[in-house]
Amino acid sequence: MHNTHKKLLGCRGVTLIELLVAMSVLTILLAVGVPSFSQFTANTRLNSYANTMFSHLALARSEAIKRNTRVVICKSPDGSTCAGSGNWNQGWIVFADLDNSGSINGGEQIITAMPALSTGFSFSGNTHVSSYISYDALGMTKLTSGGFQSGTMTLCPAAPAVAGNGREIILSSSGRSRIAKITTCS
Does the CA dihedral 132-71-100-79 come out positive or negative? negative
Condensed to tens digits (0 to 9), the pLDDT of residues 62-92 reads: 999 999 999 999 999 999 999 989 999 999 9
User: Is the pLDDT higher at 144 or at 114?
Assistant: 114
Please give the Cα distance from 45 to 16 (Å, whole number): 43
**pLDDT at 92 (0 to 100):** 97
Residues whose CB falls within 8 Å of the CB of residue 93, separated by 6 or more in sequence, listed in order: 73, 74, 76, 79, 80, 82, 104, 110, 111, 112, 113, 114
Q: What is the DSSP letter of 128?
A: G
**pLDDT at 116 (0 to 100):** 94
DSSP-based three-state secondary structure for 41: helix
Condensed to tens digits (0 to 9), the pLDDT of residues 92-119 reads: 999 999 998 888 988 899 999 999 998 8
Mean pLDDT for all residues in the chain? 87
180 φ/ψ angles, rounded to the nearest 5 degrees: -130, 140
**pLDDT at 160 (0 to 100):** 57
**pLDDT at 112 (0 to 100):** 96
